[in-house]
Amino acid sequence: MANIVKTESGIDLLQRLSVRPKLIGLQTEVFGENGPQPGDVIEISEKNTNLKTVLLTQWIIRCILPSIWKGIKIGGLEVGVVFLSTDHHFSLLNLVTVLERTLKRNLRQYHELLPASGISIVEEIVKDSLKRLSVYESFNKTELLFNFCSTKTYILSHPKSSVVMLDSLSAFYWEDRLSASTMQSLDKYCQSLLLCLIEKLKQTNITIIYTVQQFLRESHERESAEDQLLIYSLSLENESQTMIHIEDRRNAKKFSKKIEILKGDLLIK
């Protein structure tokens, strides 16, 4: 029997050997105690709210904060985040403001640090945390596809990066539809972009979180192929009260949680 020789590129080797930190504990009210897992694909949609970017901002902060800083428990996941902005609702200034507020609240128990040295510690932790965040702006589909390639290059050289967030996948739909020679449904458009991103990041075990405007999508439109890609489908809704509806396809569960807004923070109960 002839010997079969298997070869792999240097990039394949790096992808295979890289061990990335996990996102377990990102939001236990949504993902439970053991989620999300590496490689999960998570969709966030919204109806009658403007909270998807707020939720992503909170998750970014949870990710990039250190777990422990000079012996002080901070409670972050200490993982890198790549944020792809297409809606341009994300504000770095707002993220820093919320990050500082979160840190000051967490450090109140350390009376010996505040107020004399507390501010300097907050500034140190903020600077350290922001090193784990990379933001790519896209103003059309061509730039977005180029940034998919840039994201892959960045992730290969940053083994601590564990999540790619895209806000939103549907941003350029109408612009591209007007210029296209054939009409394409929103779901087919989003599915095509999502498959492209997944293909770029295959074998990296990166968790992908993306948003889509629910008001553009009819319930019957969703493509079965896209359905198979998703592990979690989250829907933010504001009717009589603000709710988040969660579909956990790994465990075949559907449930809903109330959302309260306290001083700009989203509390999921």
Residue 183 counted as domain residue:
yes
Residue 177 is inside which H or E element, if any?
helix 173-179
Q: What is the pLDDT of residue 95?
A: 95
- Stretch 136-142: mean pLDDT, rounded? 95
Number of domains the chain contains: 1
Percent of the chain that is helix, strand, coil (3-state, to 5): 40, 25, 40
- Taking the C-alpha atoms of residue 62 and residue 42, their distance in angstroms, rounded to an integer, is 17
Residue 113 counted as domain residue:
no
Strands (E), the chain: 41-47, 68-69, 72-73, 80-85, 133-137, 161-167, 207-213, 232-238, 242-248, 253-262, 265-268
Q: What is the pLDDT of residue 179?
A: 79
Residue 230 counted as domain residue:
yes
Q: In which band, very low, low, confident or very high, does the pLDDT at 268 lie, cut at 50, 70 and 90?
A: very high
| pLDDT of 81 strictly over 90 | yes
Strands 232-238 and 253-262: unpaired
Residue 109 counted as domain residue:
no
Q: In which band, very low, low, confident or very high, does the pLDDT at 203 lie, cut at 50, 70 and 90?
A: confident
| pLDDT of 15 strictly over 60 | no
Tokens of 264: 């700009």
Q: What is the pLDDT of residue 239?
A: 79
Residue 141 counted as domain residue:
yes
Give how far Cα 1 sits from Cα of 4, 7, Å.
9, 19
Greater confidence (217 vs 26) lies with 26
Residue 233 counted as domain residue:
yes
Tokens of 12: 């394949």
Return the CATH number at 229.
3.40.50.300
The residue range of the domain holding 261 is: 21-90+133-268
Q: What is the pLDDT of residue 27?
A: 95
Residue 108 counted as domain residue:
no
Residue 105 counted as domain residue:
no
Strands 41-47 and 207-213: parallel
Residue-averaged pLDDT of the chain: 85
Q: Omega before 168 cis (within 30°)?
A: yes
Which percentage of the chain shows pLDDT scores above 90? Answer: 56
